Amino acid sequence: MQQTRKLLETAADQALPDWDALAPTYQLGQFAKGADIFASGEWQPFVYVLRQGLVKLSYTNEQGEEWIKSFIGEGDFFACPNVLIAGLKTDYGAVALEDCQIEQVDYAAMNRLMALHPAWQRAIRQLLAWHIVRKEQRERELLTMRPDERYQSFLQTYPVLAKRIQQRDIAHYLGVTPEALSRIRKRSRV
């Protein structure tokens, strides 16, 4: 649970008590490149913390068209708020873009610790704040920026990951075709 502990204690800005209470709900998953971590329509009441690898979170319609909502790199986390907060099923999928090691903790166990300890409340509140800021930035990009500006923002947001992500996936993240991304990249080099 090393990466999860590091993330949560950084978020709380202090050591957190009662880690043993999470142990029964903790799993370390190994996912090969291309494997589904979870699919849309599943019950996944977990917080995932990426120890190693690269993950994409994306929506897919009935025709198989994909819209990538975000990329997750080492040390970052993801969870489906529809499941954790609203009690619904996942509305997007998570796929390993590289071989991955992912720490998984049941959110209900974390919720019990929040009820007992203010430090746990602080940690989860900070994770939610980071998530909200990230989502607002993404929304602003999609609603107010041209594709070339979204590409530049992507490069600034994901400077290390950008080199590890296929151009097709970057295009789906930006909401453009791979051909349009190729033209944007060509113009940005000039």
The answer, yes or no, to whether residue 81 has pLDDT greater than 70, is yes
In a domain, 83, yes or no: yes
In a domain, 188, yes or no: no
The answer, yes or no, to whether residue 66 has pLDDT greater than 60, is yes
In a domain, 153, yes or no: no
Question: In this prediction, what percent of the chain has a pLDDT beyond 70?
Answer: 99
In a domain, 48, yes or no: yes
- The domain that holds 29 is classified in CATH as 2.60.120.10
Q: Decide: 102 and 48 in contact? Cβ < 8 Å.
A: yes
The answer, yes or no, to whether residue 25 has pLDDT greater than 90, is yes
pLDDT at residue 190, rounded to an integer: 52
The answer, yes or no, to whether residue 1 has pLDDT greater than 90, is no
Q: CA-to-CA distance for 158 and 138, rounded, in angstroms?
A: 12
pLDDT at residue 40, rounded to an integer: 93
Count Cβ atoms below 10 Å from residue 28 Cβ, excluding itself.
13
Look up the domain containing 94 and give its range. Answer: 2-120
In a domain, 91, yes or no: yes
The answer, yes or no, to whether residue 129 has pLDDT greater than 80, is yes
pLDDT at residue 188, rounded to an integer: 82
Cα angle vertex 150, ends 144, 151, to 5°?
A: 165
Confidence category of residue 21, pLDDT binned at 50, 70, 90: very high
105 CB contacts (<8 Å, ≥6 apart)? 1, 4, 22, 25, 26, 46, 47, 49
In a domain, 149, yes or no: no
Q: Is 62 helix (H, G, I), strand (E, B) or coil?
A: coil
pLDDT at residue 64, rounded to an integer: 85
Average pLDDT over residues 152-177: 92
Confidence category of residue 176, pLDDT binned at 50, 70, 90: very high
Q: Decide: 26 and 104 in contact? Cβ < 8 Å.
A: yes
Q: What are the residues facing 104 on neighbouring strands?
A: 27, 48
Average pLDDT over residues 148-160: 92
In a domain, 73, yes or no: yes
Helix (H) or strand (E) holding 131: helix 118-144
In a domain, 27, yes or no: yes
Mean pLDDT computed over every residue of the chain = 94
The answer, yes or no, to whether residue 77 has pLDDT greater than 80, is yes
Counted domains in the chain: 1
98-112: pLDDT as tens digits: 999 999 999 999 999
